[in-house]
Structure 1
Amino acid sequence: PCAHHGATADIINLKNDYGETALLQAFFGNRFHILRILLDKGADPMIAGRYGNTPLYLAVKNDLSEEIIINIIDAARPKTVDILDQNGITEPSVCFSGKITHNDLSPFAHQGATS
């Protein structure tokens, strides 16, 4: 990702005077192709509008396509590399640092963990 990715996500997630993000505006305007672009660019689908509704809630409530709902769910999931431990270290950097070994991960092997 480019150095400005965090800044781009911050701008995309700004709310207007009505408490709506660009993602919510795309939803309300039935501009689902724009909604997908915003999700790809880092728009946060867990930011609620002024009435407390998130894009995911609204998509389910309004019976949108399964594809759109899955896109929103996928965008809402934290990315493994973005999950920090109590020391501020991302999961891959913990592995590379040698602080844990595969034996430390074995309890998670049967619980669907992929990292």
Structure 2
Amino acid sequence: MIRVVFNRDEAGMIQSFSMSGHAEFDVKGKDLVCAGASAVAFGAVNSLFVNGKIEPIIDQGTDGGYLAVEIPQIEDEMTKIRVQVILDTLRTSLETIENDYSQYIKISYN
């Protein structure tokens, strides 16, 4: 199962997220749940660089099946808004996958 954890600050802003595990919906190379979750997550990370104009702190582990992303301190209010829109889009996309494949992906919030 893929486990996703979103961490929010006191203001409710997403400050970090992590994804770990494997969906095991199907064999490697045919696992649509894993492919979908991975595509959404890596698309969001790329968007943080390109559209958010920030450099998140990223840990991909060494054996695959793990991604952790932490948002650095942001001073500019417009940048904060852009970053949160990207992260909320990631959250919504993963929740959509979870709604249809809840035995393969689980999202929690701290």
TM-score (structure 1 length as normaliser): 0.29
Larger radius of gyration: 1
Looking at both structures, which has the greater relative contact order when contacts are Cα pairs under 8 Å and sequence separation is at least 6?
2
Instruction: Return the structure number with greater strand share.
Output: 2
Instruction: Return the structure number with greater helix share.
Output: 1
